[in-house]
Structure 1
């Protein structure tokens, strides 16, 4: 019998969104365990969740008795445990390119516009809503300009790399969701919009959308 999968998630977390896409691409059933990142000061800071993940972040994937954090590590674990369909190309250069695109989102863009950074800007540095929005759009814009250029190569194809979704697409689509949420003008990024549109045609991406999650709220 296959050991059950549980995903500790928040509907609007782009990092959890990445993992939902990966799980759905592989057709893996899982139980969602909602962790509300705002209610009561943030359920991720509660002692019970801290024992699950000392970083006090989502997502966390529980596979049987194994508990895994960090979205990219989780996605690579899924790919090694359930190899098909693969989230990484077969060749070393392709794998490096996909990982570079994924890390451009997960390491360079996302950390500067996630919830705890915005809360620090507001609560500690006293920045108002307009300043916080400007901050988010600035850093996403810089990152998207680089990704737009990275996608403008023959290695592109329908998706970020070739004609099948990869780890890079799992990261890019949630970041585009964030960009739209913060009202970033997407007109300068036609390659990114093209890839996003191709991804959202697939049931795995559509089902993983934030608004389709059991804990989604208006």
Structure 2
């Protein structure tokens, strides 16, 4: 007898890129969940491992390509975004930087997007890795939102911009958007 799957409880913060990635995965997989807003600045955060767990326990729809080479590329893109770009504009880092934090964030997002744009030349179809939504796409959308927040010029990144626009047309990406979360301040709601 198969064990019943428990309705997940997601601890998160409306603007957290990490939490947003998990919300997208839950929405794509059609998983109902409860949400507990917390201040991630004080209480810690989510990890990409949650998405891998969801993929292993609820494999449909797949967020990792079946082909091992494409799967490796998907993980490479995801890691590039979640480890190489996103942590450098976390609030704790920006507080340490102090004055000039906007320029700091812009610099590292730009540097990361330059490399990402090149990576996507070899992997992109309609989305980051081919024509199916993958874990890489879940990482891309919150990072583009961060780029917008820090006023990064997106003109040099046409592939990133095109993929982001395609993804934002999908319901899972819309319902998981930070502006639609229960802890979003009223002035930031959509």
Counterpart position of 2:83 = 107
Aligned to 1:8, what secondary structure does the other structure show?
Answer: strand
Gaps of 5+ in 2: none
Deviation at 1:2, TM superposition (A): 3.1
Deviation at 1:43, TM superposition (A): 4.2
TM-score by length of 2: 0.93
Instruction: Please give the alpha-carbon distance, in whole angstroms, between the structure 2 residues aligned to 1:147 and 1:204.
Output: 23
Which deviations, in whole Å up to 9, do the C-alpha atoms of 1:137-179 show, x marking residues without a partner? 00000000111111113x3110001111100000010000000
Gaps of 5+ in 1: 45-56, 60-69, 123-127
- 1:23-172 superposed matches below 5 A: 23-37=26-40, 42-44=41-43, 57-59=44-46, 70=47, 72-122=48-98, 128=99, 131-153=100-122, 155-172=123-140
Aligned to 2:118, what secondary structure does the other structure show?
Answer: helix
Paired residues, what number? 183
Counterpart position of 1:199 = 167
Counterpart position of 1:8 = 11
Aligned to 2:117, what secondary structure does the other structure show?
Answer: helix
Instruction: Please give the alpha-carbon distance, in whole angstroms, between the structure 2 residues aligned to 1:109 and 1:94.
Output: 21
Instruction: Please give the alpha-carbon distance, in whole angstroms, between the structure 1 residues aligned to 2:91 and 2:23.
Output: 19
- The structure whose Rg is larger is 1
